[in-house]
A and B are shown apart, each in its own frame.
Chain A
Amino acid sequence: MKRTLNFNIFRYNPQDPASHPHMEAYTLQETAGMTLFIALNQIRELQAPSLAFDFVCRAGVCGSCSMLINGRPRLACRTLTESLPDTITLLPLPTFELIADLSVNSGKWMRAMSERLETWVHSVEETDLDRIELPMDPDLAEHIYELDRCIECGCCVTACGTAQMREDFIGAVGINKIARFKADPRDQRNDQDYYAVVGDDDGVFGCMSLLGCQDVCPKELSLQTQIAYIRRKMAFAGL
């Protein structure tokens, strides 16, 4: 089945004084196995050489290419056009600073989140690298990895009603990070320390449980469970 795809793509380059925000239409012949990565590159190569978008791994692991695809945030690289209707509307993620067209500065946001939540293993001991490593329960290691799989693509933040309204909300990505480090015995922080970074309305108590995050996460992380878990712990820590 050969279809002609109609793309409506947001175009705007804030650095270019001649540019103004608008939607531009492109048409493309669909080919078998076409992903939005392939489609956007074809549009750039043949129709719009200045079209800006971000792809890095193009394999669904780096989190660069999230955009609003027909209204919902998804990773463009692994979205097959056959899963979409004939008309495809692409917008940049609204939560992040726009660079140009479909490219947004999610990296800057994530770095700020990391600094704010101190998303690293806090430990004061120096490790003797010559010695055998400290053992860790295999199940615990797997559990930590499960929480560590977040690719910081920003889909959860974009899908979050709270984050849409309140710019300082840390989103599911941030709360999941806290769950990850809290699960990690190598991080010597206690609940009071975690409370200090997520125990307010910009943190876990800002979450209104709309679950947009859970439903769009491309890595299918257990965000709903983690947020509830951190909420319970932080509520207790706050009392």
Chain B
Amino acid sequence: MKLIYTDVLVIGGGLAGMRTAIGVKRRGLDTLVLSLVPAKRSHSVAAQGGMQASLANCVKAAGDNEDIHFQDTVRGSDWGCDQQVARMFTHMAPKAVRELAAWGVPWNRVRKGEHEVVINGQRVTLTAPAKAHGLITARDFGGTKKWRTCYTSDGTGHAMLYTLGDQAVAASIPVEERKEAMALIHDQGRCYGAVVRDLISGELSAYLAKATVMATGGYGRIYGVSTNAIINEGIGQALALETGVARLANMEAVQFHPTAIVPAGILVTEGCRGDGGLLRDKDGHRFMPDYEPDKKELASRDVVSRRMAEHMRKGKGVASPYGDHLWLDITVLGEAHINKNLREVKDICQYFLGIDPSKEWIPVRPTQHYSMGGIRTDYRGESPWLSGLFACGEVACWDMHGFNRLGGNSVAETVVSGMLVSEYIADFCQKPENDLTVSTHLAAEFLQRETDKLKRLFTSSGDENAVAIRKRMEQILMEKVGLFRNGEHLREAVEELQQLLIRSRQISVASQAQGANPELVLAYRLPRMLKIAIGIALGALQRTESRGAHYREDHPERNDRDWLNRTLCHWNSEDDTLPVLDYEPLDVNTMELPPGFRGYGTKNIIEHPATEARQTQVDRITEAAPSDLNEQLMPFRHLLPEKYRGDNERLEDSNP
């Protein structure tokens, strides 16, 4: 039996995992990172457009601050988020950008003097003041009041991940590549690490740690078409679910990005629209202003995606062998801008579509993109049910995105949560009661269980084909748990997905290779994916309202009265085919921003009975304008690690 001990076991080598590992290492803990693929190839690398932080350096960001970023985020979430966490996040985002700037990310910078931009289809000249010259600039993104998205061309995730990856090398943090977590080792509500499979040799070993961190990203790949990297199969969430103890939250909150190319489903960044790109229908008509006169193409993603689908349903889509699509027109931005700031977009168009986006329109349609839901954690990133299990980044439901995430908030979340959670983990590990007291017997037991499972797959006489089951699962989610949902389809989806889960227990593996064996990998991952799929479908079925990305045609209203809550999901027994759902209420009385109209999308709300009173209370406090307004409305600073509590300086502060 191979046992490996460390203080902090980080599962996942993307931005969130890397920043967490660096954080705990700096606090003097021993850590190691497991990654399915070479860490720099993680899905974070594909983030293009940027990272939101209210630095307020560029002309169109003037006056921006944490408050506005917070409000945008809460509105974007359709009031489904944890407002305290959103507050912590918006407070930390500028620090995260500045830290990355010091570590080497070549953020694009403000250039003093006049420069031309495209706003609302028009060329406009802006003049940047000399004092802002060389500070980190930002671009416009959907659902935001200010230009807040810091970027490096359209390779922001790449630049960030490479910088963090390099810093991890500098800190001598071991990154074990091509290692897959197979099960969490836990006992009586305490997580002790994971059983890990070496994807090259096939060897199983037990990694024991004081704290285990899931940072494995989203579950886009259980959908047939997704912008996600193909490794994003929801395995991290599934491993937590399979403990039977930890809970997932808001699994039904699945984001569809408005602009993925057809048919490949590869994302072209929201920066295209942020920089002035337009959406057009089959007649070349710019239709978004018809639906969203205020924010137009730059409403939140859930709204733009839905409007696009709505428009295509009216017969305004462009017919293609791969189904209808619409056009994204960035020709208005000009070749020079595209060559400099949207070069990945240009590459994608060139290689996958054979077009030049500075001359031709890009065929796009809404495509699965992001999972707001995930492993439910408290503000410290720890599972309230399974001590020692932490999660951050997309895998987690921390929960700053609620039912819809704003563009540029996910890469920001990865590093911010990594910064914070690593501190909380270090605090956790330094408490004597959290010392590692696991018995090797427990580790052996879990190891044996996984060994047996694999053996069963090799020797099974079952006749089910994993590929066929997977394809059907993908199809069900695409057709019945997509952008528009209804009770009937969701019921069918839950029903059939359960059948698939039962069938998946009869999968056998022909290839007997112990090491690299893609057939085996699919066989053991598929039941996990199905559990996640069922969690999504069941959550969506039961949530009889529409909130953010979760849209029920049979319940189009946002129902704060009955559904201002978070769906929790756990899986009782290995033999079950359904998870158990319960609900965690969101407390209107503690909200800094009580529920209201988002300012875009359709206004169709059933009010929560407490909203009005809380709004009056908030208004009264705000009007009095006390110096500690935040503290009176909704205190959050005390939750932050001490070193991160300071105010963020801005240009306007330094030069009054």
Contact = CB atoms under 8 A, between A and B. Distances in A.
So, do A and B actually touch in the complex, CB under 8 Å?
Answer: yes
Most buried by B among A35, A44, A131, A133: A133
B610 interface: no
Interface string B86-117: 00000000110111011110111111000000
Chain A interface main SS type: loop
A168 interface: no
A132 B650 contact: yes
A16 B37 contact: no
A127 B104 contact: no
Nearest to A13: B513
A138 B38 contact: no
Interface stretch (B150-158, B185-193, B431-439, B455-463): B150-158
B648 interface: yes
B175 A111 contact: yes
Interface in B608-650: 644, 646-650
Interface string A214-228: 000000000000000
Interface in A29-71: 32-33, 35, 44-45, 49-52, 54-64
A148 B644 CA distance: 29
A55 B102 CA distance: 32
B38 A120 contact: no
Interface in A146-175: 148-149, 151-152
Given A64-B37, A130-B647, A148 B102 contact: no
Interface stretch (A98-106, A204-212, A230-238): A98-106
Given A33-B263, A110-B40, A111-B169, A57 B45 contact: yes
Nearest to A49: B519
Given A107-B41, A138-B110, A187-B104, A15 B649 contact: no
Given A123-B102, A138-B109, A56 B518 contact: no
Interface string B509-520: 011111111110
Contact of B159 (A33, A138, A145, A186): A145
A32 B353 CA distance: 11
A108 interface: yes
A187 B478 CA distance: 47
A64 B166 contact: no
Contacts of A141: 106-109, 152
B306 interface: no
Contacts of B104: 120-121, 184, 186-187
A19 interface: yes
Scoring B39, B517, B644 by chain A CB atoms within 10 A of each residue's CB, the highest score goes to: B517
A57 to B, nearest CB: 5
B229 A58 contact: yes
Interface residues of A, number: 67
B167 interface: yes
B323 to A, nearest CB: 14
A32 B321 contact: yes
A138 B45 CA distance: 23
Given A99-B200, A141-B107, A151-B158, A61 B510 contact: no
B365 interface: no
B464 interface: no
A239 interface: no
A62 B229 contact: yes
A174 to B, nearest CB: 13
A127 B513 contact: no
Contacts of A27: none
A110 B263 CA distance: 33
A137 B109 contact: yes
Given A132-B650, A136-B109, A44 B518 contact: yes
B510 A49 contact: yes
26 contacts: A15-B513, A50-B517, A55-B230, A56-B230, A56-B231, A58-B229, A58-B266, A61-B46, A61-B158, A78-B351, A107-B37, A107-B178, A111-B175, A115-B169, A120-B170, A127-B98, A127-B99, A130-B95, A132-B98, A132-B135, A138-B134, A141-B109, A142-B340, A145-B152, A149-B158, A151-B45
Interface of A: 13-16, 19, 32-33, 35, 44-45, 49-52, 54-64, 78, 80, 99-101, 103, 105-108, 110-111, 114-115, 118-123, 127, 129-138, 141-142, 144-145, 148-149, 151-152, 184, 186-187
Interface of B: 37-43, 45-46, 55, 94-95, 97-99, 101-104, 106-111, 133-137, 152-153, 155, 158-159, 162-163, 165-167, 169-170, 175, 177-178, 200-202, 229-231, 263-264, 266-267, 321, 340, 344, 347-348, 351-352, 354, 467, 510-519, 644, 646-651, 654
